[in-house]
Structure 1
Amino acid sequence: MAYRTLLGGETFRFDTLAQVMACATPARSGDELAGIAAESDVQRVAAQMVLADLPLSTFLTEALIPYETDEVTRLILDTHDAAAFAPVRSMTLGDFRDWLLSDAASPATLAALAPGLTPEMVAAAAKLMRNRDLIAVARKCHVTTAFRTTLGLEGRLGSRLQPNHPADDLQGIAASTLDGLSYGIGDAVIGINPATDNIPTATELLLMLDELIAKYDIPTQTCVLTHVTNTIEMIGAGAPVDLVFQSVAGTEKANEGFGVTLAMLDDARQAALSLNRGTVGTNVMYFETGQGSALSADAHHGIDQQTLEARAQAVTRAFDPLIVNTVVGFIGPEYLFDGREIIRAGLEDHFCGKLMGVPMGCDVCYTNHAEADQNDMDVLMTLLADARVHFLIGVPGADDIMLNYQSLSFHDIAYLRNTFGLRAAPEFETWLARTGIVSGTGQLTDDRAATLRLLEAG
């Protein structure tokens, strides 16, 4: 179906809904690389005008990737909740955008609506919004999950402690973990990206982390970010698996590039649930996404990368995860060229995920060959904290020496909590207070160094 609009005396024609979506997207290098970006700002505005006039229900009848050929499309449409969608069914996309920004879209109303929204709907809404609009709506979306800590509660900011080591050295990883704990980091997960991705190494790392949190009685969860098939095998061998990790994308073909299917993810979730290791909840999955993953796998089907990211988030939603994060600037400048594009993408990803009911976090990051720096990351982390992001990732010194990219440091997350009056997950905060790392108000104390020495001595 073709779409047309008149702007400035010129008629603009878009041959498909996918073309409308791509041309309406704020400029970014990945869509330009794919050859689907708007050719001018005027064409971009024309595409946004077309989107604004589209009925929301269009996305239920016109699939961007055919139902018959893509299991992600089938998942999206087969799990759509028509009853939840009913309150907004008669709206155009422009009406929906305005409604989201109104007081009528309360936290409770948005939570009830989430199962009725498809990723294409929320991606399209994002294309009609300024950055501050994305923040305002995401801030109203409350998503709560739990395993050994409860995440997403009002007034809380979760954190992943990422103590990666280029040689998977246990002592080095333990030292970085203790350093992060001294800053109050790690309530979402203590998660390691192994340098050597095999089952013996992953098992050794899991055993070390399990021993560490047992020794200090730390209420948190651990994860070694290995492939889901490795984790299933480790569960079968009796390894202490808390969370199952997997990177996912928004098309069946892109997920094949990751070596994963939806059935495989369901098997992994059931295996993890069988261990019954959670104490306050049963959310056992951890997913990572990121704009550009489908394009980098030549599996984008001519769809813009922001829409495909929302489809990846819809995949995660189906498996009731504890945490999901976009690794926003990790793939490189071919997909998000500079700080401006990374900031915009981070806010889009967070908005879309939260609006669909996904516990959305972010790895605020960039590669060293991108036109970005730590000042850009300061801006994005501050905006995400204001938007009430589910969790952020911290690495020693903001420099991941194994993955060779720049992220946030432990003290960045501590700064955000102090600045916005945000606190760690309640179970984790109780432990932090007991060890003297935070005060009764949840703020870091002056004797953290003494506490760290006590932990190291233990």
Structure 2
Amino acid sequence: MIYRIDVAHQHYVFSDLKTLMAKATPERSGDQLAGIAAQNATERVAAQMCLADVPLKQFLNEALIPYEQDEVTRLIMDEHEAEAFYPISHFTVGDLRNWLLSADATTEKLTALQMSLTPEMVAAVSKIMRNQDLILVAKKCRVITQFRNTIGLEGHLSTRLQPNHPTDDVLGISASILDGLMYGNGDAVIGINPATDNLQNLSELLKLLDYIIQEYDIPTQSCVLTHVSSGIQLANKNVPIDLMFQSIAGTEQANSAFGINLALLQEGYEAALSLKRGTVGQNVMYFETGQGSALSSQTHHGVDQQTIEARAYAVARKYKPFLVNTVVGFIGPEYLYNGKQIIRAGLEDHFCGKLLGVPMGCDICYTNHADADQDDMDILLTLLANAGINFIMGIPGSDDVMLNYQTTSFHDALYIRQLLGLAPAPEFTNWLEQQGILKQQSSRLEWPQHMPERFSRLLMS
């Protein structure tokens, strides 16, 4: 279908919905690199105005990537709930924006709509929303998951404790874990990106994490972020895997570039479930995503990177994940050039994920060659926390010494929890109080100046 609009005495023509979506996307370097971005601000506004008038039904009739060619498209279309969609089926994209911002769009109604919204619909509406709109609507969305604790409750903000080490040194990893625990980090997951990705090393890291969690009776979960095929092999050997990990993307070809497909993800999901390691719930998957991953492997089909990212959330949603993390600035300035683009992308990803029913977190980060700094990350952290994000990263000194990028620190989590009166997951909060790590007085969280003595054993064992 061809889309047309007149703006400022100029006639604009967009050859199909895919082109219209790309031209309507707020400026970012990835779409410019792909040659699909608006030529200027006027064309972008024209595309946004035109997109606002597109009926939501059109997204069910005009697939951006053909149904026959892409299993992610088939997943999206096949799992769409027509009955739940009926109350908003007469909406245009602009109508959806207005309704989302209204008092009528309650948390309960947004939850009921999760499976009736396609990624393309939520990506489209995000393109005509200001940052404050994205924050306000996302704040009304709640996605709650459980494994050994409960993530996503209102008034709570969780963290992934990320104790990476360039040589996977056990003492170095243990020191980072202890440091993070003393600042109340680690309730979302204690998750290691391994430097050496062989089964023996992965097994030893998983056993280390399991020992720490069991020895100190910590109500949290562990993950070593290896390929799902390795995770399946480890699960079959009864290695203690809590959360099964995989990076995912929004097209079949992009997932193939990661060495996965939906069938393999299903196998990983079932393998993790079979271990039955959860205590309060069985959300067993941990996924990571990022705008630009499909473009980097030339598997984006000419679709803008933000819409492709939203499609990845449909993949995640199928497997009822405990955590989904958009690693927003990690791929680099080729895709998100500066702090402004990273901030916008982080808000978009969180908004789209939450509307689709995905438990969204964000690695609020940038690479050293991006036009961004820690002040930009402070802004995005503060905005996302106000928007109700489920979890963020906690890393010693904000500097990941293994992956070589900048993100949020243990202290950043302490800052935002104190600023907004947010607590870790309730089970984890209780544990912190019992251990003498945290004191809750007058609705404020207070951390001691000295480490509880029993925890120093971790560095001597």
Q: TM-score, normalised by structure 2?
A: 0.98
Contact 2:183/2:447 (<8 A) preserved: no
- Secondary structure, aligned partner of 2:220: coil
Contact 1:285/1:320 (<8 A) preserved: yes
Q: Tell me which residue corresponds to 1:168.
A: 168
Aligned ranges for residues 35-434 of structure 1 at < 5 Å? 35-434=35-434
Distance 1:288 1:200 in 2: 24
Between the two proteins, the alignment pairs up a number of residues equal to 457
Contact 2:19/2:36 (<8 A) preserved: yes
Amino acid paired to 2:221:
Q
| Superposition deviation, residue 447 in structure 1 | 2.2
| Superposition deviation, residue 454 in structure 1 | 3.1
Amino acid paired to 1:379:
I
Q: Tell me which residue corresponds to 2:31.
A: 31
Distance 2:440 2:296 in 1: 47
Distance change >3 Å, CA 448–CA 75, structure 1 → 2? farther
Distance 1:174 1:71 in 2: 41
Contact 2:213/2:220 (<8 A) preserved: yes
Distance 2:306 2:131 in 1: 14
Distance 2:247 2:104 in 1: 35
Contact 1:436/1:448 (<8 A) preserved: no
Amino acid paired to 2:22:
A
Distance 2:14 2:246 in 1: 36
- Secondary structure, aligned partner of 1:449: coil
Gaps of 5+ in 2: none
| Superposition deviation, residue 83 in structure 1 | 1.4
Amino acid paired to 1:367:
T
Distance 2:136 2:10 in 1: 34
| Superposition deviation, residue 440 in structure 1 | 2.9
- Secondary structure, aligned partner of 1:13: strand
| Superposition deviation, residue 32 in structure 1 | 0.2
Q: TM-score, normalised by structure 1?
A: 0.99
Distance 1:112 1:200 in 2: 44
Contact 1:183/1:444 (<8 A) preserved: no
| Superposition deviation, residue 406 in structure 1 | 0.2
- Secondary structure, aligned partner of 2:361: strand
- Secondary structure, aligned partner of 1:155: coil
Contact 2:439/2:447 (<8 A) preserved: no
Q: Tell me which residue corresponds to 1:12.
A: 12
Contact 1:251/1:300 (<8 A) preserved: yes
Distance 1:423 1:439 in 2: 11
| Superposition deviation, residue 456 in structure 1 | 1.3
Distance change >3 Å, CA 91–CA 247, structure 1 → 2? same
Distance 1:449 1:113 in 2: 48
Amino acid paired to 2:281:
G
| Superposition deviation, residue 450 in structure 1 | 2.8
Distance 2:450 2:292 in 1: 41
Distance change >3 Å, CA 446–CA 77, structure 1 → 2? closer
**Deviations for 1:369-428, whole angstroms, at most 9, x for unmatched residues?**
000000000000000000010100111000000000000000100111110000000111
Contact 2:437/2:451 (<8 A) preserved: no
**Deviations for 1:62-104, whole angstroms, at most 9, x for unmatched residues?**
0000000100000000000111111111111101100000000
Amino acid paired to 2:451:
A
Distance 2:373 2:444 in 1: 28
| Superposition deviation, residue 437 in structure 1 | 1.3
- Secondary structure, aligned partner of 2:113: helix
Distance 1:320 1:138 in 2: 19
Distance 2:27 2:292 in 1: 14
Q: Tell me which residue corresponds to 1:450.
A: 451
Root-mean-square deviation (CA, aligned residues, Å) is 0.9
Gaps of 5+ in 1: none
Contact 1:161/1:189 (<8 A) preserved: yes
Distance 2:97 2:411 in 1: 36
Distance change >3 Å, CA 456–CA 55, structure 1 → 2? same
- Secondary structure, aligned partner of 1:196: coil
| Superposition deviation, residue 448 in structure 1 | 4.6
**Deviations for 1:192-211, whole angstroms, at most 9, x for unmatched residues?**
00011121111100000000
Distance change >3 Å, CA 446–CA 251, structure 1 → 2? closer
Contact 1:81/1:116 (<8 A) preserved: yes
Amino acid paired to 2:110:
L
Contact 2:244/2:268 (<8 A) preserved: yes
Amino acid paired to 1:285:
M
- Secondary structure, aligned partner of 1:159: strand
Contact 1:2/1:15 (<8 A) preserved: yes
Distance 1:103 1:290 in 2: 31
Q: Tell me which residue corresponds to 1:21.
A: 21
Distance change >3 Å, CA 257–CA 321, structure 1 → 2? same
Amino acid paired to 1:228:
V
Contact 2:365/2:406 (<8 A) preserved: yes
| Superposition deviation, residue 443 in structure 1 | 4.5
| Superposition deviation, residue 37 in structure 1 | 0.2
Distance change >3 Å, CA 446–CA 74, structure 1 → 2? closer
